[in-house]
């Protein structure tokens, strides 16, 4: 089964770090306190299953995104592109918001395994070091992109740490 995901062009690659040029995309988003638990996932699953103003169902997409800032984080599902022109369904729940990601240059590091705090910190540090050596600087919060079901075997999972960047 193939899932829709945001469209990008690969600009540059250095080992497992890529610079990508993403087209604009939208997500449905919920704020959470931590990476553990699945309350945000359940709320968003309900939204794409028809808990929205027109009662429209939407296909599951990838990746599931977590934007991390200093106090909270988001859980986000990418909105299918078919809804950009016909209107993104308005959420019934006030804590679900629609978020726009404008086209941007994004630094990405890919890895597999379990998604734990120490892994996120290690991969983020690698990404920032590599971006610096490639001549880029971050301009946004980091995002975690998860491409697999939580039931996938850890060594088969594909994760990314992403951050918007600009050339130094």
**Mean pLDDT (whole number) for 96-114:** 96
pLDDT of residue 121: 94
CA distance 79 to 58: 8
Length of the chain: 168
Fold assignment, 8-167:
Multidrug-efflux Transporter 1 Regulator Bmrr; Chain A (3.20.80)
Name the average pLDDT for the chain.
92
**Mean pLDDT (whole number) for 127-145:** 97
**Mean pLDDT (whole number) for 8-30:** 96
Buried b (16+ CB within 10 A) or exposed e, 78-94: bbbeeeeeeebbebeee
pTM, to two decimals: 0.91
The least confident of 6-10, 42-46, 113-117 is 113-117
Residues 31-89: tens digit of each pLDDT: 876 555 556 888 999 999 999 999 999 999 999 999 988 777 899 999 999 999 889 99
pLDDT of residue 134: 97
What secondary structure letter does DSSP report for 52? B
Sign of CA dihedral 142, 34, 84, 87: negative
Q: How far apart are the first and last CA of the chain?
A: 40
Beta bridge partners of 64: 77, 146
């Amino acid at each position: 089964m193939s899932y829709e995901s945001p469209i990008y062009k690969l600009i540059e690659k250095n080992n497992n770090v890529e610079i990508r040029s993403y087209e604009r995309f939208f997500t449905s988003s919920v704020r959470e306190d931590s990476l553990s638990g699945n309350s945000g996932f359940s709320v968003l699953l309900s939204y794409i299953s028809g808990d929205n103003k027109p009662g429209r169902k939407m296909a599951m997409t990838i990746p599931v995104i977590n934007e991390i800032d200093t106090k909270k984080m988001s859980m986000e599902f990418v909105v299918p592109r078919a809804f950009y022109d016909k209107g993104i369904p308005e959420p019934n729940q006030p804590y679900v918001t629609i978020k726009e990601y404008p086209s941007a240059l994004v630094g990405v590091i890919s890895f597999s395994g379990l998604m734990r705090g120490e892994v996120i910190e290690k991969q983020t540090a690698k990404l920032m070091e590599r971006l610096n050596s490639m001549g880029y600087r971050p301009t946004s919060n980091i995002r975690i992109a998860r491409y697999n079901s939580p039931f996938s075997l850890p060594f088969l999972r594909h994760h990314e740490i992403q951050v918007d960047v600009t050339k130094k």
